[in-house]
Amino acid sequence: MEKVKVTMTVLFEEPFWIGIYEREDGESYQATKILFGAEPKGMEVQEYLLKNVYWLSFGTGKKSRLSDRQTRKNPKRMQREIRKQTREGGTGTRAQQAIQAQREERKIQKRIIRKEDKLAEEKERFCRNNRRNAKNIVDTKRRNAS
């Protein structure tokens, strides 16, 4: 049976109280942000989680760096890899990075949907203009024939 570690952290982030719900299994780490508003009591947080745990939206979950096997490496090579990881990973905690990755995924999905809507609208406008132009051509031919 696989172990799953779940953590709920409640903190004040101006002007609201938020909760960061973290879930880590053997290979992946996921986090989501919950907005509470007023300061929640322990029982309120527990009730919220019991009612809404299945509807929380998590990202895809990245492989956890902590679970990777560590082998003995040359110290200079290790320094280069650490420098590279810190440049790639950005700043913040793992929860902040997971939430940011989730935002980026949503942004990409919205961009794709917007592009599809725009193309559909342009196609509809093109068809409308073609129908109007065809009608004008028929009207012109009728006038010229009379």
Residue 104 · residue 90 · CB < 8 Å:
no
Each of the 146 residues of the chain gets a pLDDT tens digit; together they read 678 888 888 888 788 888 888 888 877 888 888 888 888 888 888 888 888 888 787 766 665 554 444 556 788 888 888 888 777 655 667 788 788 888 899 999 999 999 999 999 999 998 888 888 777 777 777 777 76
**CA proximity to 30, closest of 107, 96, 104:** 96
28 CB-contact burial (10 Å; exposed 0-12 / middle 13-18 / buried 19+): middle
**Residue 33 DSSP SS3:** strand
